[in-house]
Amino acid sequence: MPAIVLRQVTKRFAGGPPAVRDLDLTIPDASFTTLLGPSGCGKTTTLRMIAGLELPTDGEIDIGERNVFSLAQGRSLAPAKRGLGLVFQSYALWPHLSVRQNIAFGLEVQKVNRAETKRRVEAVAESLQIDAYLERYTSELSGGQQQRVAIARVLVMRPDVLLLDEPLSNLDAKLRMDMRAELKRLHAETGATVIYVTHDQLEALTMSTHIALMRDGVLQQFAPPLELYAQPANRFAADFLGNPRINLLEGVVEAGAIVSHGLRVQVGGDGVLAARPGERLTIGLRAEELRLEREGGSGRAAVRILSVLPTGADWYYRVGLGDAVLTVRDDRHPDLREGEQVWLVAAPNPLKVFDEAGRSRTALSGRDAPAAAAQAPGPAPIERRESEREEARA
């Protein structure tokens, strides 16, 4: 299945900043690539440009060996000729047609003969377990069933590339978990290249082989999910991924360590960092990279426990360090109470350090990532907090 290459793709809508700016992206063959970012970051626009529903203002797009859009050559292949299928966020099922007619529509338009159409519709319906509802109208189906019909309508065309625009956002949390597994299975079975748009970082982390993180129309980082999690290219990427949010702590470089309110994080010997003594840097510490000790010691900082947040599986603590509030995951002290004073130890793995512009000093990939100082460590996008809440309920 084909790789998809975007070269210098820009999209400008009338009277606004560019929705997508100079996007260079190679989506690997047979990958499950997620376009991730807060709303308005240009991820859906990018998807629609690949689909051919939106005309880029500039740039080129290749799907496999074929160039499907090139401004310089004045070429824009019709959406249906690009060999891809798109599942819409709202599903876009035609309410005046039955499930069978919805799924068969594309085959009829392509003048596939009747017997073949029937066979293919029924096969795809069976594989998605909606064969019992073929004669119903879509309004008679539940959200999850409608979702399957939307996917079936696309899969019946046997696309090389499957585009999914926030397909799970209209489902409840439990159904969402099931559909994630289902989509992963579909990806494995069809071998299609999947491009998946979401603002939900957990969805992106659990399903993708690659994530393209976007913000304000600019690509922030393109990497496999765990690399993106472990080595965010800038402060925005660090902040956007992970639940609970990463702790971002400002400190000063002192003799091979970054020190903040008495907490020392060793950085010495790491050639990538190239820190100068006295430089102010931000260090990113995920909750699982922090732990609490009852005894003080070298590099440990005294903190007060502000709240204890057990989730059942894990114990989270909110602790105050100077004027900063950090989230710590530590399962070894179920008896700790609010108000107690304990000692905080940081053991980042790997080290995540950002300069004043917000660029990572430590990430291996995405060294040329855009600066992100303006945002971090601002409040998380609202949508993401909502998704966090839903996860908590699930």
Partner 1 sequence: MITAVRRFRLQLTPQRLFAALFLLVLGYLVVVPLGVMLQETFTVHPLERFQIPGAMTGDFTTAHWERTFVGPHSYAFFYRPLINTLIIALSLSLLALVIGGGLAWLVVRTNLPFKGLISNAAIIPYVMPSWTLALAWLTLFKNQRIGGQPGIFQAVTGIATPDWFAYGLFPITITLALHYFPFGFMLIGGAIRNIDAQLEESAELLGASRATILRRVVFPLVLPAIFSTFLLTFSKGLGTFGTPAFLGGPVREFVLSTSLYANLIGQRPGIGYIAAVVMIAMGVLVLYMDHRIIGARRSFVTISGKGARAGLVDLGRWRTPLAVLVLGFLFSVIAVPIGALAVDTVMLRPGIYNLQNFSLHYWIGEASLAIGLGTGEPGILRNSQLMGALGNTMRLAVVVALVCGVLGMLIGYTVVRLRGTLVSRLLDQLSFLPYLMPSIALGSIFLALFAIARGPIPSLYGTFWLLVIACTVSYLPYAVKAGVNAMMQIGPELEEAAIMSGASWFTRMRRVLFPLQKATYFSGMLLPFISVTRELSLLILLVTPANQLATTITLRYTDRGWYPYTNGMVLMLVIIVITSTIVSRRLMKTDLAKGLGG
Q: What is the smallest separation between the CB atom of 156 and partner 1, expressed in angstroms?
A: 10
Q: Which residues pair with 112 in a beta bridge?
A: none
DSSP bridge pairs for 10: 58
Nearer to partner 1, 78 or 274 (CB): 78
Is-contact 292 285, C-beta < 8 A? no
Which H helix or E strand runs over 162? strand 161-165
CB of 109 to partner 1, least distance (A): 5
CB of 31 to partner 1, least distance (A): 21
Q: Closest distance between partner 1 and the C-beta of residue 56, in Å? A: 9
Name the minimum Å distance from CB 90 to partner 1. 6
Which segments of 79-172 does DSSP mark as H helices, in order? 99-109, 114-127, 143-155
Which one, 76 or 209, has the nearer CB to partner 1?
A: 76
Q: Check if the beta carbon of residue 325 is closer than 8 Å to that of residue 317.
A: no
Query: Minimum distance from CB of 105 to partner 1 (Å)?
Result: 5
Distance from C-alpha of 319 to C-alpha of 332, rounded to nearest angstrom:
16
Nearer to partner 1, 116 or 356 (CB): 116
Q: Which is nearer to partner 1, 141 or 211 (by Cβ)?
A: 141
Q: Which is nearer to partner 1, 31 or 102 (CB)?
A: 102
Q: Decide if 168 contacts 199 (C-beta within 8 A).
A: no
Residue 63 corresponds to which amino acid?
I
Taking the complex as a whole, how short is the minimal distance between the CB of residue 92 and partner 1, in angstroms?
4
CB of 79 to partner 1, least distance (A): 5
Handedness of CA 162, 219, 225, 239 (dihedral sign): negative
Asked if residue 9 lies in contact with residue 56, where contact means CB atoms within 8 angstroms, the answer is: yes
Place of tokens 């129309």: 217
Smallest separation, CB 70 to partner 1 (Å): 9
- Sites of contact with partner 1 (CB under 8 A): 14, 51, 53, 55, 71-74, 76, 78-81, 84-86, 88-90, 92-96, 105-106, 109-110, 153-154, 157
Look up residue 252 and give its two tokens.
Answer: 């000063």
Nearer to partner 1, 96 or 393 (CB): 96
Determine the Cα–Cα distance for residues 244 and 229; give it in Å rounded to an integer. 12
By beta-carbon proximity to partner 1, the closer residue of 58 and 391 is 58
Q: How many angstroms separate the Cα of 195 from the Cα of each of 87, 128, 198, 210, 383?
A: 10, 20, 10, 10, 21
Residue 252 CA to residue 247 CA, distance in Å, equals: 16
Helix (H) or strand (E) holding 319: strand 315-321
What are the structure tokens assigned to 283, written together?
């260090």
Whichever of 73 and 113 has its CB closer to partner 1, that residue is 73
Which tokens hold the place of 174? Answer: 């439990």
**78-100 exposure pattern, b = at least 16 Cβ within 10 A, e = fewer:** eeeebbbbbbebebebeeeebbb
Kindly tell me which of 55 and 392 has the beta carbon lying closer to partner 1.
55
Distance CA 197, CA 218 (A): 15
CB of 193 to partner 1, least distance (A): 16
The residue (of 53 and 347) whose beta carbon lies closer to partner 1 is: 53
